[in-house]
Amino acid sequence: MKVKILYLASLREQLGKAGEDLEISPSASTVAGLRALLMARGGPWQSALAQGKALRVAVNQEMAQPTTAVKPGDEVAFFPAVTGG
């Protein structure tokens, strides 16, 4: 299934991209599964999305929990817990 991923604030700078369309397997069908899939890329992905990091996630512009389901066509945004404005 295909989802749109957005990287906001400092994550965008760390990863060098604002977002991507990504084909994911059903095993990554939760926010936690998607985060684990992205961290498995290693390098800056592993450090930027590490489990100890205080990150927030929104699915279709609504705050999400690690157990929130990710469905085909969803927009998933990752961002630091505190952002400046």
CATH, residue 68: 3.10.20.30
Give the amino acid at 9. Answer: A
Number of H helices, E strands in the chain: 3, 5
43: enclosing H helix or E strand: helix 43-48
Instruction: Tell me the pLDDT tens digit for each residue of 10-34.
Output: 999 999 999 999 999 888 899 999 9
Answer yes or no: are the C-beta atoms of 25 and 40 closer than 8 Å.
no
State how far Cα 33 lies from the chain centre.
10
Q: How many domains does the chain have?
A: 1
Please write the tens of the pLDDT for every residue from 26-56. Answer: 888 999 999 999 999 999 999 999 977 789 9
Residue 85 has pLDDT above 60, yes or no: no
pTM for the complete prediction?
A: 0.92
d(CA 78, CA 65): 12
Q: Has residue 85 been placed in a domain?
A: no
